[in-house]
Each structure stands twice: as structure tokens, then as C-alpha cells.
Amino acid sequence: MPARDARVYHCTVFPVLTTSSLRVDVGAVPAIDGLSLATTGEWVLVLGAARALFESIAGIRAVEHGEIRVAGLGPLQAVRAGVCAAAPLDPRLPLRWSPLEYVSWSARLAGQPRDAAMSAAGEALEKLAISPFARAKLGRASLAVRRATVVAAALATGAPLLVVEDPGVDLPPEARGAFLRVVVRALAGRRMAFFAARVSLESPVGLAADEAILIDDGRVALQGAPAQIASSEHAFSLRLAGDVRAFEEAVATRGARLLVPSNPATPTRLSLDISPLTTTDLLRIALECDAVVLELRPLAGAFA
């Protein structure tokens, strides 16, 4: 099967992402432990996940246990086959290079001949609206230009699936919206896994996504259309001290529902659909069970 046909095959037949019993360590400490998920959308928002998940999917960080599949392939296999390309947040850049040099070398490393790589780089820079800065030094570029360069480098590879870490982080609100509109427009037609701590439902990213997966305590707490998750007003994440088991049993008998199985690695963290209870009810039940609610936050808050 020709390389391009193989890329198209994997990006039409297999889910964007799947993981099974995944464990990824950072500094010999599990950052992710036991995560299993399977996407169903073509443009997927992954919210609230540890950065180690992005790094393992992008092939940057090794997996300790379990499995990841990116369009049906292992992460490094997907990158080497040209099926997937990643755009991490603020990687170390060669500051004496220009955006054009950086992006063209990304295309060349993906297997494109020099002339084709230069053409792909120029097109990617134009789509990201940074052509005027194409030959300027990255060391003197603004944060937005550097981040657009990283996204352009992934785009120029020609990979049909992109894994992107939110490039709008810490940009001023007005600039962030405009910047993400350019990014979303540039990446149109590609399958996508977009990693963010939180997004606005009305943002370009929120509007572009057809599926969102909310990670809480290393588990999939909510999965579905972004609007569906944003409206999950009864879904909460709790961190407790004291008799957590008694609390869990008590809220269950009163109608609350555990959204994901308890994680043995963090047994004091629960993800609950508290309907028909109120947050005041939770505090009262904790008092009855000799437990203390240390943290209570709405999961729908990932759509800020």
C-alpha cells in the first residue's frame, strides 16, 4: 500500500485515540495510571489531562504499562508512518533559525524532498498568518509567532492527524480568540486531538470540536459533545479526607452516582453526578460520615 494511502486508511478506519490501562511515569512517579479511553469524534478536545498524556501520545514520553493507539498505530509508529504529527506547547526552538527554516526542516524530516518541503512550509506559514515573519529570527519573535511556527511545523508534515497542545495558553483574552480562530481555520480538514486545561464553549476550539473527553483523577469522567459536557451542572469532582468509603456509600444511597471507578492511586478523589443532591447536602453527608470535603469543583468548569 503506498504511503499516502496507508495514512488515509489509518485516519479513516481507526479512532483518533485509544488507550488501555495506560500508565505513564514522570520522575518515577505515575502521572497517569490505569487510563482507558476511546474517542469517537474526528476533532476531539481532551480536557484536564496530565501533560504526560499528551507527551506519550506524541511519542515524546515512554509508556510504562498499557497501550496507546493513534489512528490504530503506536505513537512512534504513527509519527514515522506520517499518520500523526504533534505540536507541543513551547518546545525549545533554535533561536537563530527563522520560522521558514524550522517549518521546512519539519517537512523534510517527515520525508519530503527539499523543494516540496519549502513549498509546504510556505503554505503552512501563510495559513497560520505569519508569512511576514517567515525569515525573521525566532529568538526575536513574539510568543504568538513562535507558537504559530510550532503548529505550522506539524501542519507542513502533511500528516492527516494532528495532536496539538493548546497554543493559546497565557495569551491575552482578545489575542487568544483571534489566534485560535487562525489555528482552527489552518487545521481544517485534519483529524485532531486538541489538549487543553479548559476552553470556552464559544471559543473557536469549542465550536470546532465534535467530541470532548474530560479527564478527572486519571479517568474519563465525561465524554460527549462539548455542549453536552458544558451543561453537566450536576457533575462534580471532590477531594476528601476521613472515611471516604462511608461517604461514597452514603451519597450513593441518596441518589448520587459515581461517574468513574475510584482510582486506587488517589482514593480520596471522587467524580460524582450529585443529582438529586445539592452541594450543601454533600457537606452535610460528609459531616455525618466523619469525612471532610477539601475540594469541590464542577467538572463542567472545564468549559470556562
Residue 2 has pLDDT above 60, yes or no: no
Calculate what percentage of the chain has a pLDDT beyond 70: 96
- Tell me which residue range forms the domain holding 128: 3-228
Phi first, then psi, for residue 271 (nearest 5°) are -115, 120
| Distances, alpha carbon 44 to alpha carbons 38, 122, 192, 209, 226, in Å | 11, 27, 6, 6, 9
What pLDDT, in 10s, does the model give residues 27-39? Answer: 989 999 999 999 9
Count: domains in the chain: 2
Whole-number pLDDT of residue 295? 93
Same domain, 203 and 54: yes
Same domain, 15 and 87: yes
Whole-number pLDDT of residue 13? 83
Same domain, 298 and 152: no
Span 252-256, mean pLDDT? 94
Whole-number pLDDT of residue 68? 97
Span 100-116, mean pLDDT? 97
Residue 264 has pLDDT above 80, yes or no: no
Rounded Cα distance between 165 and 127, Å, is 18
Whole-number pLDDT of residue 1? 47
Closest CA to 264 of 232, 199, 198, 217: 217
Same domain, 37 and 78: yes
Q: What is the CATH number of the domain that holds 297?
A: 3.30.70
Task: Enter the pTM of the model.
Answer: 0.91
What pLDDT, in 10s, does the model give residues 205-234? Answer: 999 999 999 998 888 999 999 999 999 989
Rounded Cα distance between 144 and 38, Å, is 32
**CB count in 10 Å sphere of residue 242:** 16
Whole-number pLDDT of residue 149? 98
Same domain, 127 and 252: no
What pLDDT, in 10s, does the model give residues 136-172? Answer: 999 999 999 999 999 999 999 999 999 999 999 999 9
Same domain, 173 and 244: no
Element (H, E) at 20: strand 17-26
Comparison of pLDDT for 168 and 4, the residue scoring more: 168
DSSP 111: T
Span 270-289, mean pLDDT? 93
Mean pLDDT score of the chain:
93
User: Domain ends where: 203, 228, 253?
Assistant: 228
